[in-house]
Structure 1
Amino acid sequence: MNAPDRYERFVVPEGTKKVSYERDTKIINAASFTIEREDHTVGNILRMQLHRDPNVLFAGYKLPHPLQYKIIVRIHTTSQSSPMQAYNQAINDLDKELDHLKNGFETEMAKHSREF
């Protein structure tokens, strides 16, 4: 049919950056991050993590078009921080949370596998 191959949704083409940064020229301490080959799953988790940061005034994301496999994350911060710092901190915090979740899951799986 006319639908693109499924792998195109996840594989970043050679020569394309996974994340690109564009500073907003109209609003101080605001920027857009374009993340290639991601969807609502990453966009929503990242947005919620950014909302936990007290220096973030606004965080949101959008999918420009259903057939374009990318999200655009907008971040506006206070003068004590920058959008790049908030983005990096949110990614690091999510990485730690996911590692903790993975370790907890593996520990419980090991306990239950010994019982059988």
Structure 2
Amino acid sequence: MNAPNRFELFVLEDGEKPVEVTEDTKIPNAATFKIVKQDHTLGNMVRAQVLSMPQVLFAGYKVPHPLHPYFLLKIQTDGTMTPQAVLEQACTKLIATISSLEAKFKREFSFKTTEGNVPEDPYGTTGAGAQSWGTGKDYLDF
């Protein structure tokens, strides 16, 4: 089959750089970043974070071919910041957002495990008897 080995999709080879920058000579304040060993997941998150910054005029990414594990990210700014600085700041904000989401998830998950010892029943019954219809809850209330 034409597909590369799985480990080649995410393990950097010796001397391989994770990010390569190419300055755009035709468009002012623009650069193209080749981010290797990544796919649409990271590409879309970084693009969205870069676009949320007011200094950015354009940001887009593409995966040239599905069998090649890299994507190209193009950023154009208004000139107040360089595309490299914008990408660095966007990645820092993205890491902070993901860390916050992870902390919230862990907190909510810990609440779930510490709630009472009564197991939840998705059908509205508790113990051996069924719940009465007049209580305002039905089998869809979890």
TM range (shorter): over 0.9
The answer to which of 3-12 and 96-105 deviates more is 3-12
Aligned AA (1:37): K
Which position in structure 2 is the counterpart of 1:28? Answer: 28
Question: Which structure 1 residue ranges, 4+ long, deviate > 3 Å from structure 2?
Answer: none
Gaps in structure 2 of 5+ consecutive residues: 118-142
**What does residue 68 of structure 1 align with?**
68
Match of 1:13 in 2: 13
1:1-116 matches, within 5 Å, as 1-115=1-115, 116=117
What TM-score, normalized by structure 1, do the two folds share?
A: 0.95
Deviation at 1:2, TM superposition (A): 3.3
The Cα of 1:109 is off from its aligned counterpart by 1.1
CA distance, structure 2, for counterparts of residue 91 and residue 66 of structure 1: 24
The total of aligned residue pairs comes to 116
Percent of aligned pairs with the same amino acid: 42
CA pair 112-67 structure 1, distance change in 2 beyond 3 A: same
1: distance between equivalents of 2:106 and 2:13? 33
CA distance in 1, matches of 2:63, 2:2: 20
Deviations 1:20-62 (A, max 9, x none): 1111111111001110011111111111111101110000001
In the TM superposition, what whole-angstrom CA distance separates every residue of 1:55-113 from its partner, at most 9, and x where no partner exists?
10000001111111100000000011110111011100100000000000111111111
Rg larger for: 2
C-alpha RMSD over aligned residues: 1.0
Task: Choose between structure 1 and 2: higher helix proportion.
Answer: 1
Select the structure with the greater relative contact order (CA < 8 A; seq sep ≥ 6): 1
Code of the residue aligned with 1:72 in structure 2: it is L
